[in-house]
Amino acid sequence: MSLLFVGQSSADPAHTPGGPCIQDDQTVSRSSVADYDDTVRTLGQIERSSNGLVTVDSAGVSGEGRELLYATVGSGGDVFWLQGRIHGNELQGTQAVLDVIRWLAGGSQEARMIRDNLTVVAIPLYNPDGAEANIRQSTTPNRIDLNRDWENFAQPESRAFYALWEAVRPKLALDVHHMSSAPRVEGTNDLNQFQIGARSISPTRMTDQQWLTNRQMASLTLETLDGYGQTHTARYPDIDITNAVLSRMLLGGPGPDGSDPGFQTQGAIFYEVRSVGQKSNGYLTNLFTRPVTAVLTAAADGSLYGHGVSSWEAEPYARSGSCGEF
């Protein structure tokens, strides 16, 4: 790590070698990462061993005909939507969501409490075709960024998951992504491993309650990672993207046929985790699962809705030139 800093003084942060994004010297080995077949098999194993606590269903089929699988855990009134790998080449989101599903089916006190108070709808692999091709977008009928398709709904994946969203009416949603390289935290030379995305649309387009809930989810997330290893967190750049999945959930439709679903998701945020070599896979997966399980717990016991927002308010941005793309 120190080699990356040779010739760079903290008084001259604008001249970071290689620009704001540090490319990792070690690429992730796809063989160590859950693919579509692994996802099908693992979900089946979890379902069979869960004694009825986890059910696995398909929301539809992808452009190439793969099942769009999701797991449902819990029987509480509030629905929590967790999705991973809408971008096929953002590898570890799938394993992280599978790990969370397995944990939710377990015997811990937190998992029981969450199952009693929430219904968790978890999608480990939103974009199976893109994952198999190791690309960001879908493959057929078109190469489309599925996180820019909840306006045109050109892809079968988008229509299927919108219909599921409309059917289950999630109160909260979390979407996990990867940065392909690491920026630095603004004002420091710290490599930034985790970005928090509290807004995919401008707060002026959210209700006051949505913006509060998003910042509560974000603050709790940041507090969970504070002091965890060498993790340095930062805010994702401010964006206002209408056709992203979370944005459409917050805006409350309209859907593919123009109809109004009659509800809006109250809180919807995203994570961007640095993607590095396979030796770090366990650490990276924990960067997802630690905050996800904390947010689930707080949503289930209700403490989330009284949580402060100061941790998010105080959070620095990543240095200009974002390295992940939501």
Give the C-alpha distances (Å, rounded to integers) separating 272 from 16, 123, 141, 269, 292. Answer: 21, 17, 28, 10, 13
Least distance between Zn ion and beta carbon 92 (Å): 12
Nearer to Zn ion, 281 or 322 (CB): 322
Interface characters, 180-199, with Zn ion (x: CB under 5 A): --------------------
Nearer to Zn ion, 171 or 177 (CB): 177
Residue 148 lies near Zn ion (rule: CB under 5 A): no
Q: Which stretch binds Zn ion (CB under 5 A): 174-182, 196-204, 216-224, 310-318?
A: 174-182
- Tell me which residue of 251, 293, 55, 229 sits closest to 165, measured CA to CA: 251
Give the C-alpha distances (Å, rounded to integers) separating 249 from 123, 166, 196, 231. Answer: 16, 9, 18, 30
- H/E stretch holding 72 reads strand 67-73
Q: Which stretch binds Zn ion (CB under 5 A): 20-28, 101-109, 171-179, 236-244?
A: 171-179
CA 169, CA 20: separation in Å to the nearest integer? 39
Nearer to Zn ion, 171 or 199 (CB): 199
Dmax (CA) of the chain: 59
Give the C-alpha distances (Å, rounded to integers) separating 299 from 109, 172, 175. Answer: 15, 8, 16
Nearer to Zn ion, 117 or 147 (CB): 147
Residue nearest Zn ion, CB atom distance: 177
Least distance between Zn ion and beta carbon 178 (Å): 6
Least distance between Zn ion and beta carbon 194 (Å): 14
- 120 close to 55: Cβ distance less than 8 angstroms: no
Least distance between Zn ion and beta carbon 273 (Å): 10
CA 235, CA 238: separation in Å to the nearest integer? 8
Burial 180-215, CB ≥16 within 10 A → b, else e: bbbbbbbeeebbbbbbbbbbbbebeebeeebbbbbb
Least distance between Zn ion and beta carbon 89 (Å): 9
Least distance between Zn ion and beta carbon 93 (Å): 8
Least distance between Zn ion and beta carbon 146 (Å): 10
Nearer to Zn ion, 146 or 309 (CB): 146
- Residue of 87, 102, 199, 307 interacting with Zn ion (CB under 5 A): 87
Nearer to Zn ion, 93 or 170 (CB): 93
Classified as helix, coil or strand, 122 is strand
Least distance between Zn ion and beta carbon 90 (Å): 5
Interface characters, 243-272, with Zn ion (x: CB under 5 A): ------------------------------
- Residue of 66, 85, 171, 177 interacting with Zn ion (CB under 5 A): 177
- Please name the residues in contact with 305: beta carbons below 8 A apart, sequence gap of 6 or more: 213, 216
Residues at the site binding Zn ion, with contacts judged by CB under 5 A:
87, 90, 177
